[in-house]
Each structure stands twice: as C-alpha cells, then as structure tokens.
Amino acid sequence: MSVTIRDVAAAAHTSAATVSKVMNGSGSISQATIDRVEQVMRELGYHPNARARNFARQSTRTILFLTMLGKNAGFHNPHMFEIMSGMEEAVAKKGYLLCVKSISAEQACEFVEKIFDSKEADGLVLHASVVSPALDELVTVKAIPHIVIGNPDFPSHFSWIDIDNRLGGELAAKHLLKCGYRSLAFLGGRSEDRISGHRLEGVLSVLNEHDVLIPKGNLRQGDSDCDSGYARTEELLKQRELPDAVICANNYIAYGCVMALREHQIRIPEEMGVITFDEYPLSRILKPMLTVVDIDVFDMGYQTGKCILSKIRKPNLTVRYYSTLPSVLERESTRKIVQ
Amino acid sequence: MSVTIRDVAAAAHTSAATVSKVMNGSGSISQATIDRVEQVMRELGYHPNARARNFARQSTRTILFLTMLGKNAGFHNPHMFEIMSGMEEAVAKKGYLLCVKSISAEQACEFVEKIFDSKEADGLVLHASVVSPALDELVTVKAIPHIVIGNPDFPSHFSWIDIDNRLGGELAAKHLLKCGYRSLAFLGGRSEDRISGHRLEGVLSVLNEHDVLIPKGNLRQGDSDCDSGYARTEELLKQRELPDAVICANNYIAYGCVMALREHQIRIPEEMGVITFDEYPLSRILKPMLTVVDIDVFDMGYQTGKCILSKIRKPNLTVRYYSTLPSVLERESTRKIVQ
DNA sequence: CTGAAAGCGCTAACAG
DNA sequence: CTGTTAGCGCTTTCAG
C-alpha cells in the first residue's frame, strides 16, 4: 500500500487533519508545522490519493468535453481540436483535467444526466453539434454547469461561446474596400451552412453601409470544397460584368477559385482580389499567399476553459458571447496597386 | 442530496450490499430481488456516485493521454487527434473515460509519478514526443500500465505501438514498379525526420531486391513543406537522366513536386509517376489525384485503446508492434499506360 | 441467497 | 494553532 496521510501525520508527529490543512492551505497552521509536514511529505514521496480526495470533497476537478468524434474528425475538423487544446491549457492552469467523450446528439441527453447524477465531472463543455432542446431543458432544470461551443440555432437557456462570423464578414468586405476594390463577389457554402451565411451577412451589411451594390450574379452558393469553388468561379467569369474581388466563404472554396482564376490567366491581386477565412489548411500553400480573416480558435478554447471554471464557481452565471475577435492577415492576394 | 444506494435499498426492502451486487452482477442474487431492485433504481432515477465508486474500488476507469498540445497542434498534427479519437472509441466501449493532458518531455516524469501515486488514472498513453530514458525507468520501476504511441528512438522497456513506415516505403516502391516505372526518385524530409527515413529504407530495400539502382541524384532531402518539395523537384529536373517516377515522403513535399512538374509541363502519370504518403491534408485536392500509401491512424488509436485496457488487466504484458498496416490507394498519378 | 460491518483516504466541522 | 470526530457512498468480506 502506498503512503497515506496518516503515515505523513505519524512521521511528522501531528494529525491527519493538520496535514490536510497544510496541503490545502486552509485553516491556520504555524510555519514550523508547515515546514515539518512538507519536509516529511517530500521524504516519504507522498502524493495524496486523488480518488479519496474527490470523494471527500465531492468534486473531481475534471471538465468533460462532449462532442462527436469518430473517424476522420481529426482531419475534417481540426478547429475542434484546436479549441480542445486551448481548453486544456486553461483548465490545467487551475489544476483541472480535461476528459473527452464522443457522443451523438441523440445519446447526449441520457449521458449528460448520468454524468451529472453520478458526479463524474464538475463541468461540461458541449459542442453545438450535440445540443438539442431536450438537453437545454435538462441542463436548465438540473442546473448543470456547462458551456456550449457555438451559439445554438434554436432558442435556449444555454450558456454559449461562439466566433463572430458576421464580424468576420464585415472585416473581409471592409478590407477589400480599403484596398480599392469596388465590385465584390461572394462564394458561399450551401444554404444550411450557417458559418458561411453569417459571413455573408457581415459582408452585405458593410456594402449596404457604403452604398455599394452587389449584383445577384456575384452571390453564389455551392458545396464547401475545391471543385465547387472552381465551378462557381467559372460561372462568375462567364458574366458580362466581372467583379474585381471575390470573398470566399472558406479555404476550400478559395482554393478552387484561385485555380480557376489562374487558368483564365486573371492576375491576383491586380485584376482580381481574393480574400478568405481561416489560415488552415490551405491558405498558406497557395500562390499568391491569400489574405485571410483569421480567428484564433485556440484562444476561443482557452476562453471556454476559463468560462466553464467560473460557471462552476458561480452556477447562476450566464455566459453568452463572441469570445475571440477575427482579424485580417493581409497578404499578397489583396495588394491592389491603386492608380 | 441526491439518491444514494441506501435509498434504493430502503425502497426495495433490502440492503445496500445487495443493491451493489445487483449493479455489478457480482455475488448471486435471486431473480426476484434483481427485478425489484432494478425497478426501484429506475423509479428513483438512481445513478451510482462515481466518486464514491472510484474510491471504494480503487480505480477510476480513466485513461490519461499525455502529449504535447499547445497552439496549432490541431492544425499541424491532425494525426494525433485522429489517434485520440480512435482511442476514445476503444476505451469508451469498455466504460472508460479518456482524459487528455498537455505536457512537455521535461515535465512528464514528475507528472507521471504524481498521477500514478495519486491514482488519478488507471492507465497512461504517452505520445513518443514526451518519453525519455528517465520516464522509462520510472514506468518500469513503478510498473505503471502504459502504452507509448511511436517506437521510442532509444533502447527502453516501454510498451509501444507504431506505424510501420518502412513497410509503407516498400509498398510505395513496389506499386511503382508494378505500374511499369523503372527509374525512381525519392524526395525526403530532413535527416532528423525519422518517418521520412523509414519510408526511404523501405523503398531502398525493395529496389535492392529487384536490382534496381537508384542514382545518388535521385535521392534528395529538404524541409517537409511545399516550397522544399518544389525546389527539390526543380533540382531533379536539372539532371541529365530524369527519373520516371517520384516518391514524396509526405503530402507537402508532394504538393510542391506536382506544382514544379506542372510548370515544366511534365505529364503525370505518363511522363512521371507520383506517389506519396497519407491522405491528408493535400492529397485529394491536387489534380491529378495522387496515389498514396495511406495508414488508418484512427485504427491505430483504436488498437492503442484496446492495448492499454489489456495492460491494465495484465500489467506484466509487454506490447510492441506495428498495429496497423499501410495500404496503397491507387489513383490517377500512377496510372502509367504501359506500352 | 442476503445483510451487517468494516473500511477505502481524505476533508471539514468543532472543540479544545 | 491543533487534534478529535464524523462522515463522503460504495464495495467487499464473511457470517448467517
């Protein structure tokens, strides 16, 4: 059996309670006793049993992250892992451990109830893809400390943190206007793609403000992949009036777009400016290097980690905000030389 | 206070011990009692307190994954998260929870000792980047159930699981020979890049076996990025004798290589075959689509999860193997039409 | 087949 | 400032 608090107490000629207080910095203990106890702990190589501790204080110092994993998640959704890394860093700073569990939206309710009742974790971080109205009710009724990553697309009582994609769209449009581009196009994902939709909203609001009209033909939607980006660009180029800059709703679309422009020998940035969102995975390998509106997802994870810890302290706190602001990384693809 | 085992016992007119046995399927209990207890558990919405349980049985049903995370890990190392997803799936099947903790090789020793002594986790999965001879000794002396992901590059007592990159290289070379290519080139990463090195070894062993010579000039090393792939290809093309196929040690090198070939209007696969390793992140967006030697990293994670669970059962088991075999995904870039 | 009893190792009043 | 005393909720002998 390994060394227990009683062994330490005995060796330090004191009681278990005192040792406990020394470890936790609670109560008031004389410096002499503190030194003696700490000395003995070191000598004996004592490490408090975490299981007994969790049990006694009724807390595990654990945050559970629930999301949908499964095959290819690492490749298709690197952002999620970036967020996770940020969360881990934040909670680790306060001595918490991050656990991860893959779950579907259907199983989520039952599982969350079990986890909470069984007290396996002190707080829950839920990816927006696993939440549902039923889960909202459960979490509210049971007052479960939680944060949802992503603003849920239904009315709810959840606390959430999200990225302000609308603002991202605004920044993209403003940047292009500032660079001297005057006729913008937007290549978006499918209509169900809320991220793409919010980015478009932001773009339109800026154009509206500047009284810039965007022709219907310059607004195109499709899949979020290279081929679609290529095809939508081809369509764009068939129009009588060409735009002088294009905003691609994501990396993959941008890749296809640049390929198409290259084939048509349209020079970037002189004849056509190109801007997109996020650094990864493709922005940096394209020539010319693309200007992007980037958001620091690691930081978003870090904020999430901090938030869930404060929710554990103050359970009636409601958190709802866009934690991390997007910013423009200017590169070659929008350096128009204004005559 | 939530409902405890005693509440259930009282309501079912029996004892806590019996309820415990019903839950765990231990001891022998009459069917009537089982039914009655289960009924009551459902009625009361009873969920056993995990903390008390962990404490009583001295196990947490938790696996801890130690690796180096930090900013951009999600983007630069998607494989790690793919492995993690696989692990999660495997351990979840047996009711275990996966925890993740970012740590550096320097901190790893101290932390592992603490974790083990404090019994926060039942088993440890260590990424090869955090292991060291000191950790090897610690893990051996304390008989800590563990698996290392990646064969450590120093002699050790660790249990490990790895990918057989040497075999990957063999498969690549064999595939090209089978397609009718006769003069191969290899574009590798830096000499410290062990993955690239093993892939090259595999290639050379096959060529050796088939008495195919590979000219010195066809073996080139550089950084593992697109620009380096491009530059190395340019060098290759300046030679008097051109190879008829090139093996790129990774995705990024392959991307640069294809760009260079395209600029020189060298047709793939007719004039030059191209093969690389791994599906992500670039193989599938390139035109023509690249033939790759792929390995199922999710499966590797899954195997790791299964292994750590068996190590927990049988602590003196030593595991050392290449868990998941690479396989060739044939696509356009190697479809030479043999005359 | 069932239940009483004795912990698991630590924390948190409370009394001294 | 320190120690005594009671648990935390479950599992696990062991006697009935």
- Chain centroid to Cα A40, Å, comes to 44
CA of B32 to C1' of C1 (A): 11
Residues of chain A positioned with their CB less than 8 A from the CB of B101 = 88, 92, 97-98
Cβ atoms of A229 and A257 within 8 Å: the answer is yes
Name the closest residue on chain B to residue A255, using Cα atoms.
Answer: B285
Question: Looking at B56, B77, B94, which one is the last position of a domain?
Answer: B56
Question: Looking at A39, A56, A73, which one is the last position of a domain?
Answer: A56
Phi-psi region at A268: left, alpha or beta (left = phi > 0; alpha = psi -120 to 50): beta
* Total domains, chain B: 3
My answer on whether B96 and B196 are in the same domain is: no
The token pair at B168 is: 């990957």
B61 touches chain A (CB under 8 A): no
**Chain C footprint positions (protein CB, under 7 Å):** 1-5, 7-14
The closest alpha carbon to A2, from B143, B312, B133, belongs to B143
| pLDDT at site A274 | 97
- Chain centroid to Cα A227, Å, comes to 27
B48 contacts A72? CB cut-off 8 A: no
Instruction: For residue B317, name the pLDDT band (cuts at 50, 70, 90).
Output: confident
Secondary structure of residue A29 in the 3-state scheme: coil
- Chain centroid to Cα A186, Å, comes to 24
Q: CATH number of the domain at B11, please.
A: 1.10.260.40
Strand D contacting residues by CB (7 Å): A 13-18, 21, 27-30, 32-33, 55-56, 58; B 1-2, 4-6, 16-17, 20-21, 23-24, 26-27, 48-49, 52-53, 55-57
A82 contacts B72? CB cut-off 8 A: yes
The token pair at B89 is: 């799936």
CA of B17 to C1' of D15 (A): 14
My answer on whether B98 and B175 are in the same domain is: no
My answer on whether B43 and B84 are in the same domain is: no
> CA of B11, closest CA in chain A: separation in Å?
19
My answer on whether B186 and B283 are in the same domain is: yes
Whether B331 is in a domain gets the answer no
Q: Which of residues 192-221 of A touch B (CB under 8 A)?
A: none
Rounded Cα distance, B82 and A75, in Å: 7
Q: Which of residues 134-173 of A touch B (CB under 8 A)?
A: none
B274 touches chain A (CB under 8 A): no
Choose the closest CB to A74 out of B85, B92, B120.
Answer: B85
Give me the mean pLDDT over the B277-292 stretch. Answer: 90
User: What is the amino acid identity at position B189?
Assistant: G
SS3 per-residue string spanning A259-323: HHHHHCCCCCCCCCEEEEECCCCCCCCCCCCCEEEECCHHHHHHHHHHHHHHHHHCCCCCCEEEE
Model confidence pLDDT, tens digit, residues B287-313? 899 999 999 999 999 999 999 999 998
CA of A23 to C1' of C16 (A): 23
B99 contacts A88? CB cut-off 8 A: no
Query: Residue B314 contacts by C-beta under 8 Å, 6 or more apart in sequence?
Result: none
What range defines the domain where residue A173 resides?
165-294
Residue B143 has pLDDT above 80, yes or no: yes
For residue B214, how many other CB atoms are within 10 A of its CB?
Answer: 18
Model confidence pLDDT, tens digit, residues A40-90? 999 899 999 999 999 888 889 999 999 999 999 999 999 999 999 999 999
Nucleotide minimizing C1' to CA distance for residue A30: D1
With distances taken from each CA to the C1' atom of nucleotide D9, the closest residue turns out to be B52
Whether A265 is in a domain gets the answer yes
What 8-state DSSP symbol labels residue B285? Answer: T
Whether B243 is in a domain gets the answer yes
B49 contacts A119? CB cut-off 8 A: yes
A99 touches chain B (CB under 8 A): yes
Distances (CA, A) of A196 to A80, A151, A192, A193, B339: 17, 14, 9, 5, 49
| pLDDT at site B26 | 81
My answer on whether B142 and B258 are in the same domain is: no
My answer on whether A304 and A317 are in the same domain is: yes
My answer on whether B262 and B248 are in the same domain is: yes
Whether A334 is in a domain gets the answer no
The closest alpha carbon to B63, from B121, B143, B115, belongs to B121
Cβ atoms of B126 and B87 within 8 Å: the answer is no
Secondary structure of residue A79 in the 3-state scheme: helix
Question: Looking at B41, B56, B71, which one is the last position of a domain?
Answer: B56
Rounded Cα distance, B72 and A83, in Å: 10
Which tops the pLDDT comparison, A282 or B247? B247
B50 contacts A119? CB cut-off 8 A: yes
Long-range contacts of A102-107 (CB under 8 A, 24+ apart): A102/A67, A102/A68, A102/A69, A102/A70, A102/B85, A102/B88, A102/B89, A102/B92, A103/A66, A103/A67, A103/A68, A103/A130, A104/A68, A104/A130, A105/A68, A105/A129, A105/A130, A105/A131, A105/A132, A105/A135
Q: CATH number of the domain at B302, please.
A: 3.40.50.2300
| pLDDT at site B1 | 61
What 8-state DSSP symbol labels residue A67? Answer: E
Rounded Cα distance, A10 and A40, in Å: 10
My answer on whether A250 and A203 are in the same domain is: yes
Model confidence pLDDT, tens digit, residues B81-113? 999 999 999 999 999 999 999 999 999 999 999
Whether A339 is in a domain gets the answer no
Whether A333 is in a domain gets the answer no
| pLDDT at site A202 | 97
My answer on whether A185 and A226 are in the same domain is: yes
My answer on whether B169 and B289 are in the same domain is: yes
What 8-state DSSP symbol labels residue A109? Answer: H
Whether A263 is in a domain gets the answer yes
Name the closest residue on chain A to residue B75, using Cα atoms.
Answer: A78
In the predicted model, residues of chain A with pLDDT beneath 50 are none
The token pair at A65 is: 């992250």
My answer on whether A155 and A275 are in the same domain is: no
My answer on whether A202 and A276 are in the same domain is: yes
A226 contacts B285? CB cut-off 8 A: yes
Instruction: Give the up-direction half-sphere exposure of residue A145: CA atoms within 13 A in the CB hemisphere.
Output: 23
For residue A216, how many other CB atoms are within 10 A of its CB?
Answer: 7
Secondary structure (DSSP) of B22-64 = HHHT-S---HHHHHHHHHHHHHHT----HHHHHHHHT---EEE
pTM over cut 0.75: yes
Residue B255 has pLDDT above 70, yes or no: yes
Whether A335 is in a domain gets the answer no
Rounded Cα distance, B125 and B84, in Å: 10
B74 contacts A81? CB cut-off 8 A: yes
